[in-house]
């Protein structure tokens, strides 16, 4: 007999996961219109109240390159305000458990995070990023890998000195949108490099939807064999072919327990246009800007919930926020769960046809009878059945 218990088949699969929300940063960075400061604050705070413990809230890079985040200080100040702390307390949210992250690709941004931390509004965690493809790395950082590793080493130390954790992102793991195929072994080595210079945790990123489920399972198995601590590793998947949910399942099967997504599947390469004006961003788009973004948060949390895995979110509140996000952005987004909801065990009894009970009574059947009463209690298969019986 086959084994029916999913967790016995995949014993590394977690029973509890952490799902980080990165809508306000990664989700909004690809939008070609400025998302108001009030909207950023609203969604960040509401996602925390819905259950987010890990949340990316802004990018502290130069506003000339990414003007979407010119309001970084206002957003951080609102999230650090006494008023929001009181809201958390009233909602039963332990504010001290929250980890707020700001992206800081280069050293000046790390210095800005340190300054804000010393003023009492800075992030708990910052993020720097390397790509195993030097061309993709240069497009995102403007420098070589050799130069960047030394910069990251300095930044990790100075951030740690003021109590800021550093997340090291490793990108182009499963392929690069610029140069094509990459080696999984290089990404494992880059992960070790980040830990060797003091990184707190690693975001393993597929920034263009190159990953397949089989390769995701293989890679995370390699990572956990080499560095067996699931809390140290975070799965970050973009979606261009609508197959990332299969990769999420593969990562779970490998033993990964930390994920992240964006409401509506927003996100992608930083916009090179904002409102009515071209901006620098990270240059020309290297994929169709209409069909990019992260794993859809709403669909991800519904999937995790229906697997019976603990996640800590109020799913209905997340779906409500996803519906609001479509109005904020002004278009239909990629979540299916926002439209179709959850699979309800109680069903939708309002759609039951009123004539069934009368027909059962008329035919003299018993309520709940599923097969003719003279049939055996369990089906008996003939020696030849199905296609064999027709030959």
Instruction: Please give the Cα distance from 126 to 200 (Å, whole number).
Output: 10
pLDDT band of residue 347 (cuts 50, 70, 90) is: confident
Half-sphere exposure (Cβ direction) of 134: Cα atoms closer than 13 Å:
5
pLDDT band of residue 42 (cuts 50, 70, 90) is: very high
Residues paired with residue 202 on neighbouring β-strands, in sequence order? 168, 233
Cβ neighbors of 349 (< 8 A, separation 6 or more) are none
Tell me the three state secondary structure of residue 308.
coil
The reply to whether 32 and 56 lie within a common domain is yes
Instruction: Please give the Cα distance from 235 to 240 (Å, whole number).
Output: 16
Nearest to 280 by CA among 62, 65, 32, 26: 65
The reply to whether 132 and 182 lie within a common domain is yes
Least confident of 4-8, 45-49, 341-345: 341-345
- Mean pLDDT across the stretch 134-161? 96
- Mean pLDDT across the stretch 40-63? 97
Residues paired with residue 234 on neighbouring β-strands, in sequence order? 203
pLDDT of residue 366: 93
The reply to whether 370 and 291 lie within a common domain is no
The reply to whether 239 and 375 lie within a common domain is no
Instruction: Please give the Cα distance from 269 to 31 (Å, whole number).
Output: 9
Domain span including residue 60: 14-340
Q: Is residue 291 over pLDDT 80?
A: no
* Higher per-residue confidence, 47 vs 177: 47
The reply to whether 125 and 216 lie within a common domain is yes
- Mean pLDDT across the stretch 153-165? 98
pLDDT band of residue 261 (cuts 50, 70, 90) is: very high
105 within some domain? yes
Instruction: Please give the Cα distance from 164 to 114 (Å, whole number).
Output: 8
Tell me the three state secondary structure of residue 56.
strand
pLDDT of residue 96: 97
pLDDT band of residue 161 (cuts 50, 70, 90) is: very high
Instruction: Please give the Cα distance from 143 to 157 (Å, whole number).
Output: 20
Rounded to two decimals, the pTM is 0.94
141 within some domain? yes
Q: Are 101 and 127 in contact (CB under 8 A)?
A: yes
Cβ neighbors of 97 (< 8 A, separation 6 or more) are 53
The reply to whether 237 and 373 lie within a common domain is no
Instruction: Please give the Cα distance from 112 to 157 (Å, whole number).
Output: 15
The reply to whether 214 and 334 lie within a common domain is yes
- Mean pLDDT across the stretch 78-95? 98
Q: Is residue 44 over pLDDT 90?
A: yes
249 within some domain? yes
pLDDT band of residue 321 (cuts 50, 70, 90) is: very high
CATH number, domain of 18, equals: 3.20.20.70
- Mean pLDDT across the stretch 103-108? 97
4 within some domain? no
Instruction: Please give the Cα distance from 168 to 172 (Å, whole number).
Output: 14
**CB neighbours of residue 44 within 10 Å:** 25
The reply to whether 317 and 361 lie within a common domain is no
Tell me the three state secondary structure of residue 171.
strand
Chain mean pLDDT for the chain? 95
Q: What percent of the chain has pLDDT over 90?
A: 88
Cβ neighbors of 114 (< 8 A, separation 6 or more) are 122, 158, 159, 162, 164
Token duo for residue 380: 């008996």
- Mean pLDDT across the stretch 194-213? 94
Quickly list H helices, the chain.
6-9, 28-29, 37-50, 72-79, 82-91, 107-118, 134-141, 145-161, 184-196, 213-226, 244-254, 297-306, 315-329, 337-340, 356-363
Given CA atoms 74, 260, 304, 223 in this order, what sign does their dihedral have?
A: negative
The reply to whether 57 and 153 lie within a common domain is yes
Number of domains in the chain: 2
pLDDT of residue 242: 84
Instruction: Please give the Cα distance from 62 to 281 (Å, whole number).
Output: 10
Pairing mode, strands 258-261 and 18-21:
parallel
pLDDT of residue 285: 85
191 within some domain? yes
Instruction: Please give the Cα distance from 213 to 243 (Å, whole number).
Output: 8
The reply to whether 294 and 187 lie within a common domain is yes
pLDDT of residue 288: 75
346 within some domain? no
Contacts 24+ apart (CB under 8 A), 352-358: none
29 within some domain? yes
- Mean pLDDT across the stretch 242-271? 95
347 within some domain? no
pLDDT of residue 286: 76
The reply to whether 91 and 218 lie within a common domain is yes
Tens digit of pLDDT for each residue in 120-146? 999 999 999 999 999 999 988 999 999
pLDDT of residue 213: 97
The reply to whether 132 and 63 lie within a common domain is yes
Instruction: Please give the Cα distance from 75 to 48 (Å, whole number).
Output: 14
């Amino acid at each position: 007999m086959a084994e029916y218990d999913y967790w016995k088949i995949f014993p590394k699969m977690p029973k509890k996961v952490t799902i980080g929300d990165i809508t306000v940063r990664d989700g909004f960075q690809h939008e070609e219109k400025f998302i108001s400061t009030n909207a950023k604050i609203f969604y960040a705070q509401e996602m925390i109240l819905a259950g987010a413990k890990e949340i990316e809230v802004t990018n502290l890079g130069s506003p000339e390159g990414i003007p979407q985040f010119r309001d970084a200080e206002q957003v951080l100040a609102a999230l650090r305000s006494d008023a929001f702390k009181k809201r958390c307390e009233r909602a039963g949210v332990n504010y001290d458990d929250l980890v707020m992250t700001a992206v800081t690709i280069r050293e000046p941004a790390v210095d800005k995070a340190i300054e804000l931390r010393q003023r009492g509004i800075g992030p708990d965690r910052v993020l720097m990023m390397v790509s195993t493809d030097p061309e993709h790395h240069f497009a995102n950082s403007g420098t070589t890998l050799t130069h960047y590793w030394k910069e990251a080493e300095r930044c990790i130390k100075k951030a740690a000195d003021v109590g800021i954790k550093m997340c090291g992102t490793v990108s182009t793991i499963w392929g690069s949108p610029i140069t094509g195929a990459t080696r999984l072994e290089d990404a494992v080595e880059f992960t070790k490099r980040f830990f060797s210079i003091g990184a707190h945790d690693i975001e393993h990123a597929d920034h263009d939807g190159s990953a397949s489920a089989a390769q995701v399972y293989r890679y995370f198995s390699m990572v956990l064999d080499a560095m067996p601590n699931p809390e140290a590793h975070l799965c970050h998947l973009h979606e261009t072919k609508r197959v990332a949910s299969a990769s999420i399942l593969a990562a779970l099967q490998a033993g990964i327990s930390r994920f992240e997504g964006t409401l509506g599947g927003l996100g992608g390469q930083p916009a090179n246009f904002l409102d009515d004006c071209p901006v620098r961003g990270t240059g020309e788009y290297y994929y169709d800007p209409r069909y990019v973004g992260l794993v859809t948060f709403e669909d991800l949390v519904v999937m995790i919930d229906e697997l019976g895995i603990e996640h800590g979110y109020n799913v209905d509140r997340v779906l409500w926020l996803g519906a609001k996000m479509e109005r904020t952005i002004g278009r239909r987004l990629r979540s299916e769960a926002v439209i179709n909801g959850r699979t309800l065990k109680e069903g939708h009894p309002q759609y039951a046809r009123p004539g069934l009970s009368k027909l059962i009574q008329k035919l003299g059947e018993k309520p709940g009878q599923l097969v003719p009463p003279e049939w055996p209690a369990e089906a008996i298969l003939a020696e030849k059945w199905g296609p064999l019986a027709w030959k």
